[in-house]
Amino acid sequence: MALILNGGNFLPTVKLSTSQDVTVGASSAQSAAIGTAGQTPNKIIRLVSTTACRIALGTNPTATSTSTFLPANVVEFTEISPGEKIAVIQDTGGGKLNVSECIL
């Protein structure tokens, strides 16, 4: 679902569900699996980090210095297959990545 704002911009409207924090540091760290492998449909997740970081998604992901960049304090929504995880590594300094499952 989305709420269309004046000017045609979209604001996603979702209900937040299970949430977890992943420590952002100099080495890649993984979240717990999102949902259970084999479930359908895919899940929407909300990501926000206290520090600039790099993220990767997959069944056993490793974030590197060239993985997708997530700026500090910016909310990002993305789709993930049930059973997959999010890996995170710092861009310049440590912090926390909050991962929240969304219910549409």
Say what the pTM is: 0.84
| Cβ contacts of 25 within 8 Å, gap of 6 or more | 89, 90, 94
How sure is the predictor about 1, in pLDDT bands with cuts at 50, 70 and 90? low
pLDDT of res. 14: 82
Domain boundaries, the chain: 15-103
Residues 37-88 have pLDDT tens digits of 888 889 999 999 999 999 999 999 999 999 999 999 999 999 999 999 999 9
Q: What is the pLDDT of residue 102?
A: 86
Which class would CATH give 15-103?
mainly beta
Looking at residue 6, its pLDDT comes to 59
The answer to whether the bond into 61 is cis (omega within 30° of 0) is no
Bridging pattern class, strands 43-49 and 2-4: unpaired
